[in-house]
C-alpha cells in the first residue's frame, strides 16, 4: 500500500532516465565511431575545422560560470543567503566542465595526447592558458563539490570518516572561491580572446571578445543555475526554494544583462568603423546573412532584451512562469552567441582572387555523428544533474543551511 | 578626506617613484618577452645574419600553372593526392597570359600558427623554417584557424595505400603523417639538412633544394639564403619589384612573389 504511490511518483523520472539513457547510448556509439574512424566522419573541413562540438564546449563552459559567480558572491561578498544556490552552481559547474572536456577529447585529432598541454607549455598561446585554467579549475570544482558528494547516504554509511573529511573541505570554501574567481576570469575571457587574437580573420580580430565572453558567461551561468533551481523546485516534491534569494539573483541578472547589451552594441557598432576585407562580409553574415536570425532574435531580442524587460518588471519577476522563461531565454541567448562567434570567422574564407586575398563564403552543418555525440554529451549532463538532485540534494535551500553549519 | 599641500608633495614624489619604477619594470618585462631581434646583417635577414635564412621567390611572369610543383611535392613528402602543400590559384590575366599564384607555407617570421599552438608543436627553426612536430601535436586545429594563407591541411583520415605520384615524380624522403594532425610545407627541410651535410648549397644544388623548385619547368621558383647577399633569392628580390601575401598582417612571409606585369610597367 505504501509502495504503490511511490512507484507512481517515480514513473515520470523513470521515463526521463530512459530517454536520457537512449541518448547517452547513442552518444557513446557515435563517440566510439569517432575514435575508431577519426574525424572524417564529421562534416568538418580544412575551411571550417571547428564546428558543433566546439560550440557545445564553449556553451557548457559559459553556462558553468554560475559556479564561480555564486561562490564569489557567497564567500567573498558574504551574501550568505545564496549559499544553497552556490552549491547548485558548483555542481552544475562540475558537470559543465566535464561536458566540455568530453567534447574536446573527441574534437582533437589525437585524443590520447590530451595531456600534452600540461607537459609542453607554449606560454604565448591563449589556448594553452585556457587548457591550464580549465584543468586547474576542474580540480577546484572537484574540491568545492566534495562536501556535496559527502551527502551520498551509502557513502556516509560505508565510510563515515571519509565523508566527514570530505564535508570539512567546506571550511576552505573562501579560498576555493578566490581561486575559482581568478581562474574563471582568466579562461572565460581567454576563450573569447582565442578568437580575438586571430589577425587572419578580421571579423574576430578585436579586443572586445574577451570582455563579452566573460560577461555573457556570468549571465549565462547565473541564469543556468537559477533555471535548474526553479525547475527542480517545481517538479520535485519536498524541495524548498527561497523565493527571496531567487528574486535577488534575478534582479542582479537583469542589471548584468543591461551591461552586456550595452557592451554588445558598442562592439557591434564599432565593427563598422573601418573597412577590412573579410570584416564587412562577416558583419553581413551576422546582420543579414545566415547567422542574422540567431543574432537579432536569438542573441539580442530573445536572449537579452526580453529577459531584461521580464526581470525589471516586478510583476513578471515575481511570477514563476516568467522567471523560468526569462532565464531560459538568457541561456539560449548565450548559446546562440557562442555558436555565432565560432561560426562567423570561419564562414568567411580568404582566398587569392586577382592577386588579392578576397573573402569567400564557406558552409557547414554538423553531420549526424556530430549531432549524436553532442546529444549524448548534453544527455549526460542532464542525467548527472538529475542524479545529483535525487541523491545528493544539490537543489534544496533547507539542506544548504544545514551543511553550512557543519 | 583632507589633503594638505605637504601630503600632495609627498604623494607626487611617491607617484614619480612609482612611475619611474613602473617604467623600469615594464622595460625589463618588455625585454623578457621580446621576440628575436631583427637587426639585419644580411640583405633581408631576420635571424641576426648568422647561419642561414631560407626564403623562396616565385616569379608569376614565369609560372604557367602546370602544377608540376604539386606533383613533385606530393611524391617527395609523401602527401596524399587529395592534399596539396602548395595550392595553385589562377588569379587573373595579363594581356593574353594567364597569371597563377602558387601558395606554399609562407614560413612567416611571426607565424600565427606558432604563437597559437598550445603545445609548441609548431615552432621556428634557427634558419627560419616553421616546423611541425607531428608527435607533439594534439590535433586541435587552432593553427589551421589562425593561418592567414590556408597553408595547412588536416589529416581527417589516414593516407593509406599507394602514392600515385611515386615514382613518376620522385621518391618520398620523409615519413607519412598519421591521422589527426595537420600537415604543411616544410621547405623540404630534409633535403636542405642532408644537402648541407654533404656540402651542397640549397637553391643551387638540386639535391639540397625543395622538390617544387627542382620540378618547375619554366624555373619560376627560386630558393636560397637571405643571409647570403649573392644568393639568387637575395638578387631576385634586389633586382625586381616583389611583394608578399597579406603583408599588412605583419606575419613577415619568407615567400616573395615577383609580379607578372612588372615587364609591362617597366615598358610604360
pLDDT (0 to 100) of residue A8: 52
Cα separation, B112 vs B152, in Å, equals 12
pLDDT (0 to 100) of residue B14: 60
User: Given an 8 Å threshold on Cβ–Cβ distance, is A120 in contact with B121?
Assistant: yes
pLDDT (0 to 100) of residue B36: 41
| Cell numbers linked to B59 | 616569379
pLDDT bracket for residue B19 (50, 70, 90) = low
Whether pLDDT at B3 is above 70:
no
Handedness of CA A298, A303, A309, A310 (dihedral sign): positive
Do B124 and B117 contact (CB within 8 A), yes or no? Answer: no
User: Which residues from chain A sit within 8 angstroms of residue B120, using beta carbons?
Assistant: 120-122
Torsion of Cα atoms, A42 then A48 then A51 then A55, to 10°: 170
pLDDT bracket for residue B262 (50, 70, 90) = confident
User: Given an 8 Å threshold on Cβ–Cβ distance, is B116 in contact with A127?
Assistant: yes
Do A93 and A179 contact (CB within 8 A), yes or no? Answer: no
| Cell numbers linked to A107 | 574534437
User: Given an 8 Å threshold on Cβ–Cβ distance, is B147 in contact with A200?
Assistant: yes
User: What is the distance in angstroms between the Cα of B253 and the nearest Cα belonging to chain A?
Assistant: 13
pLDDT (0 to 100) of residue B4: 45
Whether pLDDT at B233 is above 60:
yes
Tell me which residue in B101, B142, B144 faces A352 most closely, judged by beta carbons: B101
Cα separation, B45 vs B55, in Å, equals 10
One-character DSSP codes across A104-133: HHHHSS-GGGTTHHHHS--TT-HHHHHHHH
User: Which residues from chain A sit within 8 angstroms of residue B247, using beta carbons?
Assistant: none
Give the three-class secondary structure for B206: helix
Question: 0.80 exceeded by the pTM?
Answer: yes
Cα separation, A330 vs A221, in Å, equals 9
pLDDT (0 to 100) of residue B93: 81
Contacts of B230 (CB under 8 A, 6+ apart): none
Q: Report the residue of A200, A278, A346, A358 to disrupt the B interface, i.e. the one with the largest count of B CBs within 10 Å.
A: A200
Q: Domains of chain B (ranges plus CATH)?
A: 12-267 (3.30.70.20)
User: Given an 8 Å threshold on Cβ–Cβ distance, is B138 in contact with A351?
Assistant: no
CA B15 to mean position of chain CA atoms? 46
pLDDT (0 to 100) of residue B152: 96
pLDDT (0 to 100) of residue A400: 45
pLDDT (0 to 100) of residue A3: 46
Cα separation, B70 vs B88, in Å, equals 8
Q: What is the pLDDT along chain A (406 residues), one digit of tens a residue?
A: 444 444 555 588 899 999 999 999 999 999 999 999 999 999 999 999 999 999 999 999 999 999 999 999 999 999 999 999 999 999 999 999 999 999 999 999 999 999 999 999 999 999 999 999 999 999 999 999 999 999 888 898 999 999 999 999 999 999 999 999 999 999 999 999 999 999 999 999 999 999 999 999 999 999 999 999 999 999 998 888 999 999 999 999 999 999 999 999 999 999 889 888 889 999 999 999 999 999 999 999 999 999 999 999 999 999 999 999 999 999 999 999 999 999 999 999 888 877 677 888 999 999 999 999 999 999 999 999 999 999 999 998 875 444 443 3
Tell me which residue in A108, A127, A354 faces B139 most closely, judged by beta carbons: A108
User: Given an 8 Å threshold on Cβ–Cβ distance, is A46 in contact with B150?
Assistant: yes
Of all residues in chain B, the one with the smallest CA distance to A200 is: B148
User: Given an 8 Å threshold on Cβ–Cβ distance, is A108 in contact with B99?
Assistant: no
Q: What is the pLDDT of residues B85-125, one digit of tens each?
A: 999 999 888 788 899 999 999 999 999 999 999 999 999 99
pLDDT (0 to 100) of residue B49: 58
Amino acid at each position: 500500500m505504501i509502495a504503490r504511490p511511490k512507484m507512481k511518483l517515480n514513473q515520470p523520472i523513470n521515463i526521463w532516465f530512459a530517454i536520457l539513457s537512449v541518448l547517452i547510448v547513442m552518444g557513446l556509439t557515435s563517440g566510439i565511431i569517432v575514435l575508431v574512424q577519426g574525424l572524417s566522419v564529421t562534416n568538418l573541413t580544412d575551411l571550417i575545422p571547428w564546428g558543433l562540438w566546439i560550440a557545445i564546449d564553449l556553451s557548457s563552459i559559459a553556462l558553468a560560470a554560475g559556479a564561480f559567480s555564486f561562490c564569489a558572491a557567497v564567500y567573498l561578498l558574504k551574501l550568505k543567503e545564496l549559499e544553497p544556490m552556490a552549491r547548485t552552481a558548483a555542481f552544475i559547474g562540475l558537470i559543465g566542465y566535464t561536458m566540455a572536456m568530453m567534447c574536446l577529447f573527441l574534437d582533437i585529432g589525437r585524443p590520447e595526447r590530451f595531456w600534452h598541454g600540461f607537459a609542453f607549455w607554449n606560454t604565448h598561446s591563449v589556448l594553452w592558458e585556457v587548457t591550464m585554467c580549465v584543468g586547474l579549475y576542474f580540480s577546484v570544482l572537484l574540491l568545492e563539490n566534495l562536501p556535496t558528494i559527502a551527502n551520498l547516504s551509502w557513502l556516509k554509511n560505508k565510510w563515515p570518516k571519509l565523508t566527514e573529511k570530505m564535508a570539512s573541505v567546506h571550511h576552505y570554501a573562501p579560498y576555493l572561491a578566490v581561486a575559482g574567481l581568478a581562474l574563471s576570469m582568466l579562461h572565460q575571457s581567454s576563450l573569447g580572446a582565442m578568437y580575438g587574437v586571430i589577425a587572419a580573420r578580421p571579423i574576430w580580430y578585436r579586443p572586445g571578445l574577451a570582455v563579452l565572453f566573460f560577461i555573457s558567461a556570468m549571465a549565462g551561468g547565473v541564469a543556468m543555475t537559477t533555471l535548474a533551481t526553479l525547475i527542480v523546485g517545481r517538479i520535485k516534491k519536498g524541495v524548498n526554494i527561497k523565493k527571496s534569494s531567487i528574486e535577488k539573483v534575478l534582479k542582479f541578472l537583469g542589471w548584468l544583462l543591461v551591461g552586456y547589451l550595452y557592451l554588445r552594441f558598442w562592439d557591434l557598432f564599432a565593427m563598422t568603423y573601418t573597412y577590412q576585407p573579410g570584416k564587412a562580409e562577416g558583419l553581413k553574415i551576422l546582420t543579414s546573412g545566415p547567422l542574422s536570425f540567431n543574432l537579432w532574435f536569438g542573441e539580442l531580442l530573445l536572449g537579452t532584451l526580453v529577459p531584461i524587460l521580464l526581470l525589471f518588471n516586478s510583476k513578471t519577476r515575481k511570477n514563476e512562469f516568467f522567471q523560468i522563461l526569462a532565464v531560459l531565454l538568457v541561456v539560449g541567448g548565450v548559446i546562440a552567441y557562442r555558436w555565432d562567434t565560432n561560426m562567423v570567422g570561419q564562414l568567411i574564407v580568404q582566398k587569392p582572387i586577382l592577386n588579392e586575398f578576397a573573402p569567400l563564403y564557406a558552409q557547414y552543418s554538423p553531420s549526424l555523428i556530430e549531432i549524436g555525440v553532442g546529444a549524448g554529451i548534453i544527455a549526460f549532463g542532464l542525467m548527472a544533474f538529475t542524479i545529483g538532485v535525487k541523491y545528493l540534494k544539490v537543489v534544496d535551500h533547507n539542506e544548504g543551511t544545514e551543511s553550512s553549519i557543519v | 578626506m583632507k589633503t594638505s599641500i605637504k601630503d600632495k608633495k609627498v604623494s607626487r614624489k611617491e607617484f614619480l617613484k612609482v612611475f619611474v619604477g613602473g617604467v623600469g619594470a615594464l622595460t625589463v618585462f618588455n625585454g623578457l618577452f621580446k621576440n628575436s631581434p631583427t637587426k639585419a646583417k644580411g640583405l633581408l635577414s631576420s635571424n641576426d645574419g648568422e647561419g642561414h635564412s631560407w626564403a623562396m621567390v616565385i616569379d608569376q611572369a614565369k609560372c604557367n600553372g602546370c602544377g608540376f610543383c604539386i606533383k613533385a611535392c606530393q611524391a617527395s613528402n609523401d602527401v596524399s593526392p587529395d592534399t596539396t602543400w602548395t595550392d595553385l590559384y589562377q588569379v587573373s590575366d595579363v594581356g593574353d597570359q594567364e597569371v597563377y599564384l602558387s601558395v606554399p607555407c609562407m614560413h612567416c617570421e611571426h607565424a600565427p600558427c606558432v604563437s597559437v599552438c598550445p603545445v609548441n608543436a609548431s615552432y621556428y627553426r634557427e634558419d627560419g623554417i616553421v616546423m611541425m612536430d607531428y608527435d607533439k601535436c594534439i590535433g586541435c586545429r587552432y593553427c589551421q584557424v589562425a593561418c592567414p594563407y590556408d597553408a595547412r591541411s588536416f589529416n581527417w583520415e589516414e593516407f593509406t595505400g599507394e602514392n600515385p605520384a611515386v615514382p613518376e615524380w620522385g621518391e618520398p624522403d620523409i615519413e607519412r603523417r598519421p591521422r589527426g594532425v595537420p600537415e604543411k610545407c616544410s621547405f623540404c627541410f630534409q633535403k636542405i639538412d642532408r644537402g648541407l651535410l654533404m656540402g651542397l648549397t640549397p637553391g643551387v644544388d638540386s639535391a639540397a633544394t625543395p622538390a617544387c623548385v627542382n620540378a618547375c619547368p619554366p624555373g619560376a621558383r627560386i630558393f636560397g639564403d637571405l643571409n647570403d647577399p649573392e644568393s639568387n633569392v637575395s638578387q631576385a628580390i634586389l633586382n625586381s619589384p616583389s611583394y608578399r601575401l597579406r603583408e599588412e598582417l605583419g606575419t613577415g612571409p619568407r615567400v616573395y612573389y615577383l609580379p607578372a606585369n612588372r615587364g609591362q610597367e617597366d615598358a610604360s
